[in-house]
Amino acid sequence: MKYQIVRKLGAGGFGNVYEVQASDGNAYAMKLLRDIGIINKQRFETEIKILAQLNHPNIVKIFEWNLGGDPPDFSPWYTMEYLRGGSLRDHMDDKFKDGYVFQRNWTINNVILPTCHALAQAHSAGIYHRDLKPDNIMYTSNDKAQIKITDWGLGRDIGRKSIALTASLGQIGGTPGYCAPEQWFTFDTIDGRADIYSLGVIFYEMMTGRLPSMYNQRDSNLKRSKVLDPPSKYHPTITKDLDMCILKMLELQAENRYQSVWQLISEIESFPDARYYY
């Protein structure tokens, strides 16, 4: 298909995203690689490979790609679903301006469980997102009824050599504030538990309007800068069970978190008031 750029939608770590009109009459989003360095190109190719093999209602769908790019600048690109509802980050920022914290059951039904189920499929395929954050969770429409996970460029460890190269360039696999502690210190042991930590940060932030206290990025013993308040301190409808669940997702040591996203799903569904989550 042929594409006509309509407007710029945003920019990620290594690519710009545009709304495009296609020759089939439909609107798509197109991601163009902005900086064709060895790491960025590797991440771009990784994202295409991952999206091409994943098929889930809560993971953005990819359609076409060209790693060689088109003239005159030959920037690699791919097209994906155009998600009209904006990002969870924009939604959160808009709500937090008025001191709002998200309703517990809506958050679980519309964001947390759908994200868990999408991650479950990815983890089953040996794929870990490693950069989960509100910017990478998008709504399909303005009614905010369905989410899609995007930006899978850090999605899979493709060999110790590539990890060592990333580390040597002073880069980490993830975003400060949202990435798990092991993404700073132990590049060779990152697995699905890192995604659980990142989702825990998102969950905590939606329930409280604030990020959990950070761990000390210079301390390999992994200690928090201060005691982490339970979400119920800021959100009176949070139950003791949900407090414990979110705090367990945010354990600094991976072995103390839920060991799989399936275990997390089972825990949420076992709560005494789980009937309200459906």
Q: Is 70 a catalytic residue?
A: no
Cα separation, 42 vs 36, whole angstroms: 9
Closest CA to 205 of 175, 250, 174, 252: 250
- Among residues 24, 35, 93, 131, the one annotated as catalytic is 131
Closest CA to 166 of 184, 178, 152: 184
Identify the burial level of 93 via C-beta atoms within 10 angstroms of its C-beta, where 0-12 means exposed, 13-18 middle and 19 or more buried: exposed
21 Rama sector, left if φ>0, alpha if ψ -120 to 50, beta otherwise = beta
CB atoms within 10 A of CB 125: 11
| Nearby residues of 126 by Cβ (< 8 Å), 6 or more positions away | 156
Closest CA to 184 of 155, 229, 222, 157: 222
Closest CA to 83 of 152, 24, 10: 10
Phi–psi pair at 180, nearest 5 degrees: -70, 150
Catalytic residues: 131
